Amino acid sequence: MAANDWQAGTAARRAMGELVQMYWFPLYAYVRRRGSGPAQAEDLVQGFFARLLEKDALALVDRRRGKFRSFLLASLQNFLSNEWDKNRAAKRGGRADIVALDAMEAEARYAAEPVDSMTPERTIFGRGRH
């Protein structure tokens, strides 16, 4: 496939352009049907093609292993799964520094505190007015 070596020259670039034009809408429609909004689907498909080129994934295409459409769909599904994992990790604080908290130590310390009738706010801020 000429698109395999897209950086080599004009013919390969043209082949890559044709490939993107041919498959962009079907992949976009697939991502939309999986629940993404228009802007997100556009970003995901563009990101997918960029990753495909960046990783030179078209070099893995082998006609003996199946249809190109199947290769593209499987590659897109893997890409979407990785993007979903990255986004889910970011929502859980995946990009933040981890601060170790020792719940057992905190509970033992809490149990050792004297019992009184202070409100939780006053316990945190002390007995004075804040």
Residues 1-44: tens digit of each pLDDT = 444 554 556 777 787 788 888 889 999 999 999 999 999 999 99
Burial (CB < 10 A; 0-12, 13-18, 19+), residue 16, is buried
Question: Would you list the domain boundaries of the chain?
Answer: 1-130
Cβ contacts of residue 49 below 8 Å, gap of 6+? 20, 24
With cut-offs at 50, 70 and 90, classify the pLDDT of residue 91. low
| CA–CA dist 66, 78 (Å, integer) | 17
> 28-87 pLDDT, tens per residue?
999 999 999 999 999 999 999 888 888 776 777 777 777 888 888 989 999 999 998 888
pLDDT of residue 88: 80
Q: Which residue has the higher pLDDT, 124 or 102?
A: 102
pLDDT of residue 93: 60
Cβ contacts of residue 53 below 8 Å, gap of 6+? 6, 16
Tokens of 13: 């670039």
Query: H-helix or E-strand containing 107?
Result: helix 103-112
